[in-house]
C-alpha cells in the first residue's frame, strides 16, 4: 500500500540503502536488501537496535498502518485454589514492510530501543 506522506529516514543517505545484520539468529529478509521502502523503525534499514527479550504471540488485528496487534496468552497461578487461570495481553507491534504476514499467524517479536517492538515471522 502506497503512503501519501513522504517518510524521511534520518541518518541514512537515501541514494544508497544500508542493510544491517541484526544478529540473534535472525536472517536479513530479501525484501530488506532489495526493497525500495523507507522505514526509520526497521531493524535492518532503520535507526533502531534490537535488545531485550524475544516474545511470541498470535496476530489478532491488522487495521493500523505498519502496526499490528499481537495477543500473548499465559497462565497465572492462584495460590488459594492451587490452580492456574488463563490471562492474555494485547501488544501493539511495529511491522516493517520487509516482512510478509497474515492474520492468526504465530510470531516471534523482539524488543527494540525506544520501547518499540519488531516482529520476526516463524
CATH of the domain at 115: 2.40.50.1000
Is 31 inside a domain boundary?
A: no
The structural domain count of the chain equals 1
The tens digit of pLDDT for each residue in 20-77 reads: 677 667 777 777 777 777 777 888 877 777 777 888 888 888 888 888 888 999 999 9
Q: How far is CA 1 from CA 33, 66, 88, 111, in A?
A: 19, 10, 31, 26
Q: Are 110 and 24 in contact (CB under 8 A)?
A: yes
Expressed as residue numbers, the domain containing 108 is 49-121
Mean pLDDT of the chain: 77
User: Residue 121: pLDDT above 50?
Assistant: yes
Is 65 inside a domain boundary?
A: yes
Q: What pTM was estimated for this model as a whole?
A: 0.68
Is 108 inside a domain boundary?
A: yes
Is 38 inside a domain boundary?
A: no
Amino acid at each position: 500500500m502506497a503512503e501519501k506522506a513522504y517518510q524521511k529516514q534520518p541518518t541514512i543517505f537515501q541514494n544508497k540503502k544500508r542493510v544491517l545484520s541484526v544478529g540473534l539468529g535472525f536472517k536479513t529478509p530479501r525484501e530488506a536488501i532489495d526493497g525500495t521502502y523507507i522505514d526509520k523503525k526497521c531493524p535492518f534499514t532503520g535507526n533502531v537496535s534490537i535488545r531485550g527479550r524475544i516474545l511470541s504471540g498470535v496476530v489478532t488485528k491488522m487495521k493500523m498502518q505498519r502496526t499490528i496487534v499481537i495477543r500473548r496468552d499465559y497462565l497465572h497461578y492462584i495460590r488459594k485454589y492451587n490452580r492456574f487461570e488463563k490471562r492474555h495481553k494485547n501488544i501493539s507491534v511495529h511491522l516493517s514492510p520487509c516482512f510478509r504476514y497474515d492474520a492468526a499467524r504465530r510470531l516471534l517479536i523482539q524488543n527494540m530501543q525506544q520501547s518499540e517492538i519488531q516482529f520476526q515471522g516463524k
